[in-house]
Chains A and B, each alone.
Chain A
Amino acid sequence: AQRVTQPEKLLSVFKGAPVELKCNYSYSGSPELFWYVQYSRQRLQLLLRHISRESIKGFTADLNKGETSFHLKKPFAQEEDSAMYYCALRGSGNTGKLIFGQGTTLQVKP
């Protein structure tokens, strides 16, 4: 079964602390993994994807096929990082279908 699991509903850290939002997936082929972010009163937007291997707003994520994980990390959290974060999977082939995890609310306290 295709599934994305984000075990934490809420992650609360202090400004300047490291952040790791966990994401595990279940998929039998070669999926494409994404992190989407939704800031308060804004639309859902792409943060990063595994094929780009880039750092956006200080966030990075590495695809670990052995552990079927795609954890999102940032060494020093900022208050403006407070948002809802969704991990998502797209299967192989021509498809726009995204399978989302339940989301993790990141709260960065001053």
Chain B
Amino acid sequence: KAGVTQTPRYLIKTRGQQVTLSCSPISGHRSVSWYQQTPGQGLQFLFEYFSETQRNKGNFPGRFSGRQFSNSRSEMNVSTLELGDSALYLCASSPGTGSVDTEAFFGQGTRLTVV
């Protein structure tokens, strides 16, 4: 089956702009989580969406938001970009129901550079 697909792979934005990243999960998966990966902070959880509802949220400012569509595809948006938002943004999908099959599958990420 096709893996998790993230688009675009690379982005360069200017401070103050906004950006939207997209994630297509594995077919049948209903949970999509987003993570920010930086050399200094490692992998940090942003939020999780399940069946179009935000189910969990990390400790990021309100400039970071997301949504999930009825086909489980998800987008995350960052408004008023800051230099510190430069990072690799990873999306992970999982079935999302019960505790039997809990493996999360990751996309290759979107590399965001803010200049």
Contacts and interface: CB of A to CB of B under 8 A. Distances in A.
Contact of A103 (B42, B96, B109): B42
Interface string A85-98: 01000100011111
Interface string B28-64: 0001110100000011110010100001101000000
Given A98-B33, A99-B45, A44 B56 contact: no
Interface string B83-115: 000000010101011110011111111000000
Contacts of A8: none
Contact of A95 (B42, B43, B48, B109): B48
Max count, chain B CB within 10 A of own CB: residue among A43, A45, A49, A90: A43
A93 B106 CA distance: 21
Interface residues of A, number: 18
Interface residues of B, number: 30
A100 interface: yes
A46 interface: yes
Given A86-B43, A100-B42, A44 B90 contact: yes
B109 A96 contact: no
11 contacts: A32-B102, A43-B106, A46-B103, A94-B50, A94-B99, A96-B32, A98-B35, A99-B45, A100-B42, A102-B42, A103-B42
Interface of A: 32, 43-46, 49, 86, 90, 94-103
Interface of B: 3-4, 31-33, 35, 42-45, 48, 50, 55-56, 58, 90, 92, 94, 96-99, 102-109
